[in-house]
Amino acid sequence: MGKNIVQKIIDAHIVTGTPKAGEEVGIHIDQTLTQDATGTMAYLQFEAMGFDRIKTEVSVSYVDHNTIQEGFENADDHKYLESVAAKFGIHFSRPGNGICHQVHLERFGAPGKTLLGSDSHTPTGGGIGMIAIGAGGLDVAVAMGGGPFYCTYPRVIKVELSGTLQPWVAAKDIILKVLSVLSTKGNVGCVVEYGGRGVAGLSVPERATITNMGAELGVTTSVFPSDATTKAFLAAQGREEVFTEITADSDAEYDRVIQINLSELEPMTACPHSPDNIKTVREIGPIKVDQVMVGSCTNSSLRDIMTVAAALKGRQVAPGVSFGVACGSRQVFEMASRNGALADIIAAGTRILELACGFCIGNSQAPKTDAVSIRTNNRNFYGRSGTLSAQVYLVSPETAVAAALSGTLTDPRDFFGAKNGPSVSLPDTFLINDNMIVKPQVSDTLAVKISRGPNIGDPPSNSACPESLDGVVTIKVGDKITTDHIMPAGNRLKYRSNIPAYAEYVFEREDPQFAKRAAGFRDNGLHNLIIAGESYGQGSSREHAAICPMFLGVKMVVAKSMERIHRANLINFGIVPALFENPSDYDLLETDARVSIASYRQLIEKREPLLLSAGEKNIPLRVELTDRELEMVLAGGLINATKNKK
Ligand code: MIC
Ligand code: SF4
């Protein structure tokens, strides 16, 4: 039997385990990326594990999340990252060089390789035919040290594309359509592979928009074939030598096939407050908009910026609309300035934003109270924009620009006319200027001194799994709780390298007293438990959503279901991820309930069923761990487990 693309790449990288869907395998990682908000912890852990140089083919440290530098903290982090990169042989992409995923696609991505990134949108690299996976910083640190990355050998969902996109319908509409079919939950352990005749008409940046937002499906990653289009993109980036063709065998099998006819698609939007709350733009009708933001790692390529410029040319942004544009990389920015596109954008009345995550992570451009904000990024979780009462709709750049010009959410075909779309073609050669990427030195790195400002703390340690569990339900939350709910970003981002300070904001929006209560229980010798509904831990890879609860004494999360990256992060930091044997038992537990499990450690070790006692009730729980995960949970996390082996 032939292989699909996912099998071809993963099988070539397996170092442990059997390539069978659902089994845990360890894969060799060729490339890693980190960004500053997760990178400091990743490198502190890399240091703590005692490595002296990276063992990957290439590792890149990007600075794109915390670039506001209000106070010294971000700048301290940047300096730490720059010095660590110099010491351990890592490329350093300086602040101002652009968003990690966009820059990585342009300058480092290579078909057939594996990429592990401490950011959930690392699957952007799937657009160029890589198996690119998001993970917690600790997993990335291990991979930089040459260790395998453990994941479930995936089930593969094929999305078969036919037809051609009509004018004003974009790649973003394809992924919004996929989200409407697969939703954000229930896809753990799957990878999406794109194929079919419709693929050829999509450029690499368009494919990358699709694989980027594939993260919102909760799948391990998404991937496109590597074909003539990929080759042309790499040649235009001056990197043709890394091209290799990768396509699925004609008799390859898939676990599920979804058909999408591109000719039938229309402009769509993800309505507040979830990326899978999909409607067509026409269905919603012309609601008045206050803010429009174009950018983020989903839609900031040269293709997107040129499309926006072409649509804006000679027109004016509607009065009362705040319209901002952030290019994804310096390559995009410099090319758009040299070819005049930027001038058209500026002339229309646009706010030019820094080449960074910015509005997407909610650390700037928070909209006004009750605003309708139209954005091209990938997440519209409640409160993520920085304004709790804002209504955020996710759209393509085409729909965003129609909203900016008309002042209402409008199908771009109705505003510009259905026939003539902006015709933007990618150049034969991109402008190559890597002077903001600091290449690692090859020798004398032992002498490099690591810079540690006062914002750089030590990663906190955990104690081993307790003999018995005796504690409190410190919080009960509902379905689809994202890591943004657990560990808010936005204006709290500057504490990413300082766990005691950041821990004060755990579940800030759900229960502002959570941190105080949890620390109080912890200091009185009680264990904290989190009770959750479906799909707990959606969204970002931030391991702080595990480290900070660990710091506050959380020992166990009991949920109806849990997302992949967050579950792995919990285990890495010694928090037990348990599931309700009977999901309806969720209703039996309330916040503040006293709970216990006698012989807890022993039962986990022997893989025996756990019964959570809460007053008169006994609730059966399921803890499914591989041998490797069990060892970590018993030791109180990966770092302890590694130390125990020495
Ligand atoms: C995000 O989009 O939520 C982030 C911020 O990029 C996160 C990483 C982080 O929390 O630092 C992600 O997607 O993993
Ligand atoms: Fe940055 Fe937003 Fe992309 Fe996350 S999703 S990497 S915050 S641009």
Which residue type does 347 have?
A: A
Give the model's pLDDT for residue 372.
98
- Asked if residue 370 has pLDDT above 80, the reply is yes
Give the model's pLDDT for residue 514.
98
The reply to whether 145 falls in a domain is yes
In terms of domains, do 206 and 319 share one? no
Atom of ligand 2 nearest to the CA of 360: 2
Whose alpha carbon is nearest atom 2 of ligand 2?
A: 360
Q: Look at residues 416, 449, 481 and tell me which one is the last residue of a structural domain.
A: 416
In terms of domains, do 42 and 132 share one? yes
Phi, psi values for residue 288, rounded to 5°: -75, 140
Give the model's pLDDT for residue 164.
97
In terms of domains, do 273 and 241 share one? no
What is the CATH number for 485?
3.20.19.10
Atom of ligand 2 nearest to the CA of 298: 3
- Pick the ligand that lies closest to the CA of residue 361: 2
In terms of domains, do 88 and 122 share one? yes
Per-residue tokens: 576? 């037990």
Are 428 and 238 spatial neighbours (Cβ–Cβ below 8 Å)?
A: no
In terms of domains, do 487 and 361 share one? no
pLDDT digit string (tens) for 302-348? 999 999 999 999 999 999 999 999 999 999 999 999 999 999 999 99
Which residue type does 555 have?
A: K
CA distance 214 to 539: 11
Cα 540 to averaged position of ligand 1 atoms, centre (Å)? 4
Strands across the sheet containing 322-325: 278-280, 268-270, 391-394, 372-375, 291-294, 322-325, 351-352
Average of per-residue pLDDT values in the chain: 96
Cα 400 to averaged position of ligand 2 atoms, centre (Å)? 18
- With a 6 Å cutoff on the Cβ, whether 294 touches ligand 2 is no
pLDDT band at 485 (very low <50, low <70, confident <90, very high): very high
Strands 278-280 and 268-270: antiparallel
CA distance 108 to 156: 26
In terms of domains, do 232 and 288 share one? no
In terms of domains, do 140 and 205 share one? yes
Taking alpha carbons only, the member of 17, 32, 45 closest to residue 150 is: 17
Residue 598 is classified by DSSP as T
- Asked if residue 296 has pLDDT above 90, the reply is yes
Give the model's pLDDT for residue 461.
87
- Asked if residue 646 has pLDDT above 80, the reply is no
- Asked if residue 645 has pLDDT above 80, the reply is no
The reply to whether 445 falls in a domain is no
Cβ atoms within 10 A of the Cβ of 460, count?
15
- With a 6 Å cutoff on the Cβ, whether 212 touches ligand 1 is no
What is the CATH number for 400?
3.30.499.10
CA distance 83 to 87: 6
Are 504 and 517 spatial neighbours (Cβ–Cβ below 8 Å)?
A: no
Q: Is the peptide bond before 78 cis (omega within 30 degrees of 0)?
A: no
Length of the chain (residues): 646
Give the model's pLDDT for residue 459.
83
The reply to whether 428 falls in a domain is no
pLDDT digit string (tens) for 438-471? 999 877 788 899 999 998 888 888 999 999 999 9
Strands across the sheet containing 190-195: 221-223, 190-195, 155-162, 256-261
In terms of domains, do 277 and 260 share one? no
Please state the rounded mean pLDDT for residues 196-207. 98
In terms of domains, do 260 and 276 share one? no
- With a 6 Å cutoff on the Cβ, whether 357 touches ligand 2 is yes
- With a 6 Å cutoff on the Cβ, whether 378 touches ligand 2 is yes
Please state the rounded mean pLDDT for residues 80-105. 98
The reply to whether 581 falls in a domain is yes
Q: Hey, which of 293, 357, 375, 376 would you mutate to test ligand 2's pocket, going by the most ligand atoms within 8 Å of its Cβ?
A: 357
Strands 372-375 and 268-270: unpaired
Cα 467 to averaged position of ligand 2 atoms, centre (Å)? 40
| Matching residue, tokens 């955020």 | 392
Cα 102 to averaged position of ligand 2 atoms, centre (Å)? 10
Q: Which domain holds residue 92?
A: 5-264
Give the model's pLDDT for residue 117.
98
Residue spans of alpha helices (H) in 573-626:
600-605
In terms of domains, do 144 and 258 share one? yes
CA distance 468 to 601: 6
Cα 190 to averaged position of ligand 1 atoms, centre (Å)? 21
Give the model's pLDDT for residue 478.
97
What is residue 256's three-state secondary structure?
A: strand
Give the model's pLDDT for residue 442.
76
In terms of domains, do 177 and 306 share one? no
Q: Look at residues 264, 291, 312 and tell me which one is the last residue of a structural domain.
A: 264
The reply to whether 538 falls in a domain is yes
- CA 417 from chain center: how many Å? 35
Please state the rounded mean pLDDT for residues 271-284. 97
Cα 301 to averaged position of ligand 1 atoms, centre (Å)? 19
Q: Look at residues 240, 264, 288 and tell me which one is the last residue of a structural domain.
A: 264
Domain count, the chain: 3
CA 25, 178, 425, 97 dihedral sign is negative
The reply to whether 256 falls in a domain is yes
Give the model's pLDDT for residue 445.
80
Cα 198 to averaged position of ligand 1 atoms, centre (Å)? 30
pLDDT band at 425 (very low <50, low <70, confident <90, very high): confident
Whose alpha carbon is nearest atom 6 of ligand 1?
A: 119
Contacts of 80 (CB under 8 A, 6+ apart): 40, 43, 450, 451, 452, 453, 456, 497
- With a 6 Å cutoff on the Cβ, whether 37 touches ligand 1 is yes
- With a 6 Å cutoff on the Cβ, whether 78 touches ligand 1 is no
Strands 437-438 and 91-93: antiparallel
Cα 120 to averaged position of ligand 1 atoms, centre (Å)? 6
Whose alpha carbon is nearest atom 3 of ligand 2?
A: 297
Are 172 and 88 spatial neighbours (Cβ–Cβ below 8 Å)?
A: no
In terms of domains, do 70 and 215 share one? yes
Range with lowest mean pLDDT among 84-88, 426-430, 440-444: 440-444
The reply to whether 354 falls in a domain is yes
Atom of ligand 1 nearest to the CA of 119: 14
Give the model's pLDDT for residue 441.
82
Give the model's pLDDT for residue 491.
87
Whose alpha carbon is nearest atom 3 of ligand 1?
A: 540
Give the model's pLDDT for residue 285.
87
Whose alpha carbon is nearest atom 1 of ligand 1?
A: 540
Whose alpha carbon is nearest atom 9 of ligand 1?
A: 542
Name the pTM for this structure. 0.97
- With a 6 Å cutoff on the Cβ, whether 561 touches ligand 2 is no
- Asked if residue 183 has pLDDT above 80, the reply is yes
Cα 464 to averaged position of ligand 2 atoms, centre (Å)? 34
The reply to whether 590 falls in a domain is yes
pLDDT band at 419 (very low <50, low <70, confident <90, very high): confident
- With a 6 Å cutoff on the Cβ, whether 426 touches ligand 1 is no
Give the model's pLDDT for residue 206.
98
